[in-house]
Amino acid sequence: MGLFKSKNNTHSDEKKSDKYYYASQWGLMARKFRKHKLAMGSTFVLVIFYLTAIFGNFIAPQGTEQYDGKFVNCKPTPVHYFHEGKFVGPFVYGMKTERDPVTFMAQHVEDREKICRIKFFTQGDPGGEYKWLGLFPSNLHLFEAEDGGKIFLFGTDNMGRDLFSRVILGSQISLFIPVVGMLLTVVLGLAIGSLAGYFGGWIDTVIQRLIEVVRSFPQVPLWMALSAAIPKTMKPAQVFMLMTIILSLVSWPGLARVVRSKFISVKKEDFIMAARISGAPGSKLITRHMIPSFLSYIIVDMTMSIPSLIIGETTLSFLGLGLRSPATSWGVLLQETNKLETIMFYNWKLIPMIFVFLSVLAFNFMGDGLRDAADPYK
Amino acid sequence: MFKKKDKKDQAQSYEISPEHILEVRNLNVRISVDDYLLHAVRGVNFSLKKGETLGLVGESGCGKSVTSKEILGINPDNCKSEGQILYRTKSGKVLNLLELEHDGATYRAIRGSEISMIFQEPMTAFSPLYTIGNQLSEIILLHDKNATKASARERVLEMLRKVGIANPEKRIDQYPHEFSGGMLQRALIAMMLCCDPDLLIADEPTTALDVTIQAQILELMRSLQKEFGMSILFITHDLGIVANMCDNVAVMYLGEIVEFGSVRQIFHNPCHPYTKGLLRSLPRMDQNRDERLYIIDGVVPLPVDMHPCCGFHDRCGECLVGICDTQQIPEYEAEPGHMVRCKLMEQGVKHHG
Amino acid sequence: MDNVLLEIKDLSKVYESKGVNVKALSNINLTVKKGETIGIVGESGCGKTTLGRCVVRGIDATSGEVLFHTDEGVIDFLKIKGAQMRRYRKDIQMIFQDPYASLDPRMTVFDIISEPLRYNTKMSNREIEQAVDRITDQVGLNKAYLRRYPHAFSGGQRQRIGIARSLILQPKLIVCDEAVSALDVSIQAQIINLLEDLQREYDLTYLFISHALSVVRHISNRVLVMYLGRMVELGETEDLFRNPLHPYTKALLSAVPQPDPDVTIDRIVLEGEVPNPANPPSGCPFHPRCAYATDQCRKEMPPLKEYDGRLVACWNIK
């Protein structure tokens, strides 16, 4: 749309349109993206998730190796502010163990006599030490209950490990594996797709067939076969790397196809011919005109591919093929819930599922917003 | 009158001149786009007699298409309209189309059987999944309760023959992609004829076609109008087509009709500086080739935040500063039936040169 | 043969798709003189756009030569490579029909106009800026807008940007492919006048491809009429429009609606449509629509022959 305003516009209006005129393609995209409320909200949620994951060891009260045998299968601890009508500030009650008179199962109930205030920025128990980003040793934690009180915001599992801590520490794997995997996918997809799209001919045919072969493998058995090859003695960090590679080896064909078809369609564009006629060499055509013209689509595609990688990691770990305890990820946590009694008695153990659900949804909405914003002719 | 309601028992009844089939009164359409409001149609008035062809001409963005779509009630939801579009139905009743609900039963009955439209891109009017014959007979069955499948097919064959499609027995079972652009436009006209409308809106029906095919389609439309006696609202930017097809012409600029008159009045005695400029800027076949083309400077502005003024004032060589750019310009009658929206027409103001 | 800029010899283009050969362009011969404008007209599928794109090497011709007369002698523009290519590429440029699709939406106007300079010259940034300044003045663009992106411009102004880009290398020949067809009437006149002014100033030669006959008549010195990839008639503009010889040219000219309600022409309304180039009729490609077709027309392809300084391909002109 040629947006020309008549002279009779007010001054302030002209200023606003000036910004529009000088906006680059990326600027316009950002402008449109900001209008997409759902996408903006999702981006906000994702930023919080990722920040939480980065500062995970600090926010989580327990480390992955810590557990407390006295508090097994503990319900989420409610945080209180008022004790008998008086404002005390955030605190939890102490806990005592009772037997259910009917089922004789052990139950942890609040001891209404004992008040344990919550302190912030405390040095944790021994065993809670961590290295932030693997570099800076620390034992600083966000919060802790005084006087030996216990806070299990999401409850505990059958070994007495704090689920809240594990969800947060698990997100470090569940949210970052997909990003690394996605980057690997992009490198593979872009390289292979450009080869096929730019050169065409027999190279294209071979790559096309390869894509079809890779795509026609059923994914789950393929993962299973590949991850069965991971030696059981490997350290979690190495397993992590291998899983990433496995995931991206299976997911590059989708992107390669997009890149290939974009190359083919953009080759026919008038502005590409215009550049060629003005003497642009092939390398400049690709880097200055062709790739930028569909970069936004690639970014959208990347965003949209993350959810399937999150699910992929979760699935692998759920099937017991990925990480194993005490290393943790959302998939590992869900694996521990695959018993009927969990749903009957310990339904808080399903909380990790909410996070898988939320992050997948948020990535999809964000991708939606990006896609709408990336269409330059709308 | 922003809300459109389908009132079964209309409290208000409307009157239009007995020879008119359509009267548009003070039509305003505003379109909300992103951050601003486009005032796409600004106070448009015109009327269309039975059996007459009215040309609506102007450059892109002048509001001609928005106006025509408003008559059919097919503008998107971000368009808000005010004014009246009075239409005389086949039963003789006068309806204000703006009061009807876009998806209401009354409007659906009017679309097609009373008012039909043909478009610039005939391809988009057909579904690629059904044969031409299927799509045409469906319309007949929809509008004529007594028609049977066999009789509908007969009618379709007759219509295809009428619009000059060779070998209709074979063509009727073909799919739209097997038709060329010109053939498809003929099929679209046949589709329109199946409903036997009183008013035909033709929105740039030949712009996508080659000159020789355009000539065929225009010829066809002329002869069909003679035969069926419908009124045509012809929307185009091509002044050559207007001169050949229309009885009356409305020249639009920036959402307003700046000049209205018979085709001879407009072409032989254009009075508005815009009409004059437009006609002079056209390369003509009978012109001396060494002559430079006349130029209207500048570009069409975007109709945002319009205040009362002549829309053309900033491109007009004869603009009266202090009047044209600050006042709403009324219509003046240059000769009987020839309306011009230009201050220069007023007695006492510097005469038109 | 001095004063000749370009000789197109036996230029053909065959597209192959799914085993079917489609002859988009058959044996075009055309000599272009320095400083003239040749109008190329015809309906869709007649090959006029293919001809233009082959000449600028936007697409590769199947056979034939485009002989380009330079100071260093005659070269075949379709075969030059390497240093020669870098040297002469800039001499033949193109203006596109669609002012929306032909500008990269991701580049600023300055980058678009200056791009050819970066590939073809070793100018410093300062020199490039000066050159861009000069050319934007020339085509009537506001210098203040150079840092804007194409989406901020209307069709007419985008076409000015396209013209500036094709002009900045100071080419000798410009192929204008429907350069004004997508524009509104009042803007069209602005661009036509601009093209004429630039031609006078830089001694440019135009191949002006268009389906708008009145525009072609206004701007061209000579006109080439094409039908189904072949030359039908070639002649001086005045002659050709006053007295078209080929039946197709006659029909084409008579089909143009005149912007005057009182002008009546004997309109020749052609029957039928342009045949499918994948399956052309035998003999003269126009014979199925021609009122004067004889048996000879149905069987044999008419050669291009000269009558009164005009080239016409028709059996019935004696």
Specify the DSSP class assigned to residue A156.
B
**C257 vs B244: CB contact, 8 Å cut-off?**
yes
On whether both A284 and A305 belong to a single domain, the answer is: yes
Residue C188 to residue B284, Cβ atoms within 8 A: no
Domain membership of residue C99 (yes or no) is no
Q: Angle, to 10 degrees, between the axis of helix A236-267 and the axis of helix A291-318? A: 150
Is residue B294 in some structural domain? yes
A215 and A76 assigned to the same domain: no
With an 8 Å Cβ cutoff, are C270 and B287 in contact? no
- d(Cα C148, Cα C145) in Å, to the nearest integer? 5
Contact flag B325-A8 (C-beta cutoff 8 Å): yes
Strands (DSSP E) contained in A47-203 are 80-83, 86-99, 106-123, 130-132, 136-138, 140-145
C-alpha to C-alpha distance for C116 and A42, rounded to whole angstroms: 43
pLDDT at A21: 63
pLDDT tens figures, B158-214: 889 888 888 888 889 999 988 888 888 889 988 888 888 899 999 988 888 888 888
C145 and C51, same structural domain?
no
A142 falls within a domain? yes
Q: Which of A290, A258, A264, A256 is nearest to A371 (CA)?
A: A258
Predicted ipTM? Answer: 0.85
Please give the Cα distance from C312 to C318 (Å, whole number).
Answer: 11
**pLDDT confidence of residue A375:** 67
B248 domain residue, yes or no: no
Tell whether B59 is covered by a domain. Answer: no
Verify that C195 and C265 share a domain, yes or no.
yes
Least CB-CB distance to C115: which of A22, A270, A278? A278
Closest residue in B to C213 (Cα) is B285
Q: Does the structure show a pLDDT above 70 at C48? A: yes
Minimum Cα–Cα distance from A2: chain B residue = B302
Which structural domain range is residue C12 located in? Answer: 4-91+171-312
pLDDT of C2: 66
Give the B-side interface with A, CB within 8 Å: 35, 299-307, 309, 314, 325
**Candidates C189, C261, C270; nearest CB to B281:** C189
> Does residue A354 lie within any of the structural domains?
yes
Looking at every residue in chain B, the average pLDDT score rounds to: 87
Q: What share of residues in chain A are helix, strand, coil (percent, to 5)? A: 60, 15, 25
Residue of B33, B64, B211, B275 best to disrupt the C interface, most CBs of C under 10 A: B211
**Whether residue C131 is found in the same domain as residue C269:** no
- Identify whether residues A123 and A242 lie together within a single domain: no
Last residue of a domain, which of C133, C150, C166? C166
Residues of chain A contacting B307 with CB distance shorter than 8 Å: 8
Please name the residues between 100 and 159 in chain C that touch chain B, using a CB distance below 8 Å: 154-157
Q: Which of A144, A160, A176 finishes a domain?
A: A160
By the CB < 8 Å criterion, does C158 face chain A? Answer: yes
Instruction: Look at residue A254 and tell me if it is in a domain.
Output: yes
Residues (pLDDT < 50) of chain A are 1-16, 377-378
Residue A277 is assigned to a structural domain of this protein: yes
Q: Do C123 and C197 belong to one domain?
A: no
**How many domains are contained in chain C?**
2
Residue A64 lies in a domain: yes
Whether residues C126 and C38 fall in one domain = no
C252 contacts chain B (CB < 8 A): yes
Domain hosting residue B170, numbered range:
124-194
Q: Do A274 and C162 touch (CB under 8 A)?
A: yes
Dihedral sign, Cα of residue C23, residue C27, residue C32, residue C38: negative
Cα A57 from Cα A131, distance rounded (Å): 8
- Give the integer Cα–Cα distance in Å for B7 and C279: 58
Domain end among C145, C166, C187: C166
User: In which domain, by residue range, is A276 found?
Assistant: 165-374
Q: Closest approach of chain A CAs to the CA of C222, in angstroms?
A: 25
Same domain, C182 and C146: no
Domain boundary among A132, A160, A188: A160
Residues C255 and C132 in one domain: no
Asked if C261 and B263 come within 8 Å (Cβ–Cβ), the reply is yes
Instruction: Collect all residues with Cβ–Cβ distance below 8 Å to C133 and sequence separation of at least 6.
Output: C143
- Domain membership of residue B40 (yes or no) is no
Q: Which of A160, A185, A203 is the last residue of a domain?
A: A160
Q: Which of B244, B283, B182 is nearest to C241 (CA)?
A: B283
Q: Of A314-318, B4-8, C203-207, which range is least confident?
A: B4-8
**Is A188 in contact with A300 (CB distance < 8 Å)?**
no
A141 and A181 fall within a common domain: no
Which residues of C fall within a CB distance of 8 Å from B286? 258, 263
| Alpha-carbon distances of C90 from C49, C54, C57, rounded to whole Å | 20, 15, 12
Cα distance from B302 to chain A (closest Cα, Å)?
A: 5
Give the model confidence (pLDDT) of B45-92 as tens digits.
999 999 999 999 988 888 898 999 999 988 888 889 999 999 998 888
In a domain, A284, yes or no: yes
Q: What is the predicted pLDDT for the residue at B349?
A: 60
State whether C162 and C185 are in the same domain.
no
**CB proximity under 8 Å: C 78-97 to A:** 86, 89-90, 93-94, 96
Least confident of A65-79, B29-43, B134-148, B197-211: A65-79
The alpha-carbon gap from B78 to the nearest alpha carbon of chain A, in Å, equals: 15
B172, B194, B216 - which closes a domain: B194
Q: Is residue A231 one of the residues assigned to a domain?
A: yes
Confidence band, pLDDT 50/70/90 cuts, at residue B3: very low
Q: How many Cβ pairs within 8 Å bridge chains A and B?
A: 28
How close is the nearest chain A Cα to the Cα of C139, in Å? 18
Average the pLDDT over C21-41 and give the result: 92
Gyration radius (Cα) of chain B, Å: 21
Q: Clarify whether residues C66 and C181 are in a common domain.
A: yes
Shortest Cα–Cα distance, A28 to chain C (Å): 10
CA of A339 to nearest chain B CA: how many angstroms apart?
51
Same domain, C153 and C263: no
Return phi, psi of residue B39, to 5°: -90, 80
Tokens 């209008």, residue located = A35
Q: Pick the last residue of a domain from C144, C166, C188.
A: C166
Q: Is residue B134 part of a domain?
A: yes
Residue C101 in any domain: the answer is no
**Which of C102, C147, C148 is the closest to A270 by Cβ?**
C102
> Cβ contact (<8 Å) for C184 and B279?
no
Same domain? For A293 and A260 the reply is yes
* C102 in reach of chain A (CB within 8 A): yes
Instruction: Give the chain C residue nearest A291 (alpha carbons).
Output: C106
Domain membership of residue A155 (yes or no) is yes
Q: Which of B71-75, B127-131, B288-292 has the lowest mean pLDDT?
A: B288-292
Q: Report the C-alpha gap between A304 and C125 in whole angstroms.
A: 41
* Domain assignment of residue B72, yes or no: no
Q: Is it true that the peptide bond before A326 is cis, omega within 30 degrees of 0? A: yes
Q: How many CB pairs under 8 A join A and C?
A: 83
Range with the lowest mean pLDDT among B41-50, B120-129, C53-62, C290-299? B120-129
Of C96, C119, C152, the CB nearest to A20: C152
**pTM, to two decimals:** 0.80
Q: Is residue B112 part of a domain?
A: no
Q: What are the CA-CA distances from residue A136 to residues A51, A64, A140, C107 (Å)? A: 17, 17, 11, 45
Predicted pLDDT at A3: 38
* CB contact burial C219-240 (16+ within 10 A = b; e otherwise): bbbbbbbbbbbbbbbbbebeeb
B314: nearest CB among A3, A7, A13 = A7
Helix axes A219-228, A291-318, angle to 10 degrees: 70
Chain A residues close to C178, C-beta within 8 Å: none
Sheet-wide strand order for C173-177? C92-95, C173-177, C205-209, C37-41, C222-227, C230-236, C310-312, C305-307
CATH classification at residue C76: 3.40.50.300
- What pLDDT sits at residue A4? 38
CA closest to B307 among chain A residues:
A8
Tally the domains of chain B: 2
Chains interfacing with A (3 or more CB pairs < 8 Å):
B, C
Name the residue among C44, C184, C269 with its Cβ closest to that of B59: C184
CB contact under 8 A, A3 and B302: yes
| A276 interaction partners in chain C (CB closer than 8 Å) | 58
In a domain, B156, yes or no: yes
What distance in Å separates the CA atoms of residue B188 and residue B200, rounded to the nearest whole number?
12
Which residue is associated with the tokens 């601009």? C194
> pLDDT-derived band of residue C99, with 50, 70 and 90 as boundaries?
confident
Alpha helices (H) in A200-235, listed in sequence order? 201-216, 219-228
Residues C23 and C47 in one domain: yes
